[in-house]
Amino acid sequence: MADSHSVQGTLSLVYRLQTMDVEVLRLTLEIQEASGLIGTARSEVDSLERQIAASRKELEDLETRRVQIDLELRETERLLVEGKKRQKELKHPRDIQAYLSEMEFRRDEKDRFEEEILHILENQDLLRKKITGFEEMLDREKSSFDLLSSEKGDQIRDRHRRIEEMSQERNDVERAFPEDLLKTYNRLRGSHRNGMVVARLLEGACEACRMSLPPRTVTEVKKRQKIVTCLFCQRWLYLPDRGTEGEAVFQGTRTQDTRQT
């Protein structure tokens, strides 16, 4: 127990806590990234579904318009047939002239309606092809979304589980902490970039800012009699116990227990 209150014991505790905190942060970022990817894939699917719905609506509107013009076309055709019957009864040149103008107008109308129907049919054809293309894309997007969300969903659940485990482990470590030290650690954690309070001394340099430290500082750290801070980034310098140096890796692996026994 005495050792856990020594400088080395304190630093190794802080380092252990920090390693867990950094790992939790990393896992949290992974969860955010995975959720972001799922969200992006989801919005691709949504966007395609919206485009398909809009194209179908457009197709329907065109069909309504086509039916309407078709009715008008039939009416014009009927008027043309009736007009022909009326032609024989006309005697007066003025009536004949009026009749000819009317027939010309009707024929123009008929041409115009026929052209418009053709134009609508072409557009409907294009729209159907467009919808088929969208539907094929949607199928692909949906299956990649399903794959991604099951894969990333597993990943997210795994990360949550690891965070949960780590927070329990962290509680155990916290209990071993002198309260003042925990306060100091939490305060410093907020003021340092990446939440790093403790930096290992690796080959005479600070792990966090990578600056080489003067031999006098290195000697002081090696004495392990008081907390020595990095001259450049003010982090606490920590020299892990022999045999564990380099093993307590920051990212990806679990914390090594570097407490002296």
Query: What's the DSSP call for residue 195?
Result: G
Question: By CB under 5 A, is residue 209 in contact with Zn ion?
Answer: yes
**Closest separation in Å from C-beta 157 to Zn ion:** 37
Number of residues that bind Zn ion (CB under 5 A): 6
Write out the binding residues for Zn ion, residues 116-155 only, by CB under 5 A.
none
CA dist list (Å): 206 to 76, 241, 249: 92, 16, 15
x/- mask, Zn ion, residues 81-120, rule CB under 5 A, reads ----------------------------------------
Residue 87 corresponds to which tokens in the numbers above? 């032609």
Which window, 40-48, 153-161, 190-198, 233-241, contacts Zn ion (CB under 5 A)?
A: 233-241
For the beta sheet containing 236-238, the strands, ordered from the edge strand earlier in sequence to the opposite edge, are 205-206, 198-202, 236-238
Nearer to Zn ion, 93 or 215 (CB): 215
Residue 32 corresponds to which tokens in the numbers above? 């955010």
What does the DSSP assignment read for 37-96? HHHHHHHHHHHHHHHHHHHHHHHHHHHHHHHHHHHHHHHHHHHHHHHHHHHTT--SHHHH
**Closest separation in Å from C-beta 39 to Zn ion:** 38
**Closest separation in Å from C-beta 192 to Zn ion:** 10
CA distance 91 to 95: 7
x/- mask, Zn ion, residues 18-37, rule CB under 5 A, reads --------------------
In which element (H, E) is residue 130 found? helix 93-175
Question: By CB under 5 A, is residue 233 in contact with Zn ion?
Answer: yes
Write out the binding residues for Zn ion, residues 178-207 only, by CB under 5 A.
206
Binding residues for Zn ion, rule: CB under 5 A, are: 206, 208-209, 230, 232-233
